[in-house]
Amino acid sequence: MSLFIEACCPDLESVRRAVKKGVNRIELCEHLSTGGLTPSEPLIEAALVAAGDIPVNVLIRPRAGGFTYAPEEVRQMCRSIDRCKRIGVNGVVIGALDRALKVDIPVMASLLSHADGLQLTFHRAFDLSDDPFEALEAIIGLGMDRLLTSGHAADAWSGRMILQELVRKARGRIVIMPGCGVTPDNLQALARITGAREFHGSKLY
């Protein structure tokens, strides 16, 4: 089975490179050095044109730092999702934790109420959760399509055994998509060890 590659793109030039490389999907963000933030509306619009038929998912993250959000930040993320729907993106990449580092179900419910009809990825906030397998079940319960994770580790290779267990425990109910430090050199080994079929990275194109 062939692997599905999602390119993490922080600007228009990287979108164009990813398209030429033939990636399967683009995750668009800005300020990748901070872990990625919500891109501007002009960048989203330009990326959609540059991507052509390749689907574009947009990161919704209003600031750097942790993933526990104040009410105004949640409202800001909801407005960003509304803009993404209006512009016509394929999906959004979202995530929130509460102060106990568990998946913040009320905040996620607010975000999801605005994301109807979009593909849904839970981002690497997951890797800061207190229990990866409890968080996995909560994310599945929310109806998310996929989980972007490095396996609760600094990078996907270091987290490969947790990734393998996440794929096993998911039992096809959600796509487990390894990301962070995925390269052409370790991609095939990660696929073999983890059993994952979708991979995310900025070095894969």
Could you list the pLDDT tens digit for every one of the 205 residues in the chain? 699 999 999 999 999 999 999 999 999 999 999 999 999 999 999 999 999 999 999 999 999 999 999 999 999 999 999 999 999 999 999 999 999 999 999 999 999 999 999 999 999 999 999 999 999 999 999 999 999 999 999 999 999 999 999 999 999 999 999 999 999 999 999 999 999 999 999 999 9
CA dist list (Å): 183 to 10, 155, 158, 188? 17, 11, 13, 9
Run of H or E residues at 200 = strand 198-201
- pTM of this structure: 0.97
d(CA 187, CA 182): 6
Q: Which residues pair with 122 in a beta bridge?
A: 94, 147
Block residue for tokens 């526990």: 68
pLDDT at 1: 64
Q: Are 158 and 132 in contact (CB under 8 A)?
A: no
Q: Which residues pair with 104 in a beta bridge?
A: none
pLDDT at 10: 98
- Burial of 106: CB neighbours in 10 Å, binned 0-12, 13-18, 19+: exposed
Element counts in the chain: helices (H) and strands (E): 7, 8
d(CA 174, CA 143): 8
CA angle 43, 79, 179 (to 5 degrees): 60
Block residue for tokens 């409202």: 75
Which domains does the chain show, CATH number per domain? 4-200 (3.20.20.380)
User: What dihedral angle (degrees, nearest 10) is formed by the CA atoms of 167, 171, 188, 52?
Assistant: -100
